[in-house]
Amino acid sequence: MTESPALPLTDRVAIVTGAGRGIGRAIALELGRAGARVIVNYNRSAEAAEALAAEIGGVAVQADVSSAEGADRLVAAAEALGGLHILVNNAGITRDGLMLRMADSDWQAVIDTNLTATFRMCRAAAAVMLRQRAGSIINLTSISGIRGNSGQANYAASKAAVAAMSRSLAKELARRGIRVNCVAPGFIATDMVEAMNRKVVEGVLDVIPMRRIGQPEEVAHLVRFLASDEARYITGQELAVDGGLSI
């Protein structure tokens, strides 16, 4: 009898932030099915995260990534599983509004959760990955950060900053075996898009060359590839999954 080939991410430990629902859930499922042991992070979606962790043999860990101690808690949970090979910074929020009416608190909340938390997660994860001399970090950015979007000055700024930070970290960490890449979704069917104005979403269908909203799994496939050794010569890149919207 021939043995079935090992899954591509067997023996890898991964953290996926914001994995209880939406794109993060699809990414955790995809990595788990590829053999990784996944820390399924959640902030409020406890039940969904516990169910997902049970399904993929991972561990659900509560942490608000925008808090100072969130990153340490998640990295410690990964180390308890034997290391940290893959970090996916997926947790993100929007607080949309036109600039003239945008409160400082809406600006700051988006910067704290999307940018500062991603920086802290990268810093905490890199400390472990440097010891291993191996690791893949994937940060979720957005088409808004590439092209800008009316009503999303805070969100677009946070995502463009994550992309610039990722290119810098890619240069800092390349010689130590750590890759850092970004995945920039266009419009994907999750609660985040559900919360958007219907008219805006319908209008956007006319300008997406593929004329449809994407599915979370379509983002997860690229994340799985970037996490794997198949992507070993790819670092510092930002790849869009957007049905052609960014063309």
- Please report, as ranges, the residues that interact with ligand NAP according to CB under 6 A: 17-18, 20-24, 41-45, 64-66, 90-93, 113, 140, 142, 185, 187-188, 190-193
Catalytically active residues are: 155
DSSP 102-127: --HHHHHHHIIIIIIHHHHHHHHHHH
Closest approach of ligand NAP to the CB of residue 144, in Å = 7
Between 133 and 211, name the residue whose CB sits nearer to ligand NAP.
Answer: 211
What's the min distance (Å) between Cβ of 168 and ligand NAP?
19
Minimum Å distance from CB 160 to ligand NAP? 12
Helices 22-33 and 216-227, axial angle in degrees (round to 10): 50
Residues composing the chain? 247
Cβ-based nearer residue to ligand NAP, 7 or 119: 119
End-to-end CA distance of the chain: 49
Residue 35 pairs in a beta bridge with none
Q: Give me the least distance between CB of 119 and ligand NAP, in Å please.
A: 14
Nearer to ligand NAP, 100 or 247 (CB): 247
CB nearer to ligand NAP: give 147 or 233: 147
* Interatomic CA distance for residues 39 and 61, integer angstroms: 7
Spatial separation of the C-alpha atoms in residues 234 and 180, rounded to whole Å: 8
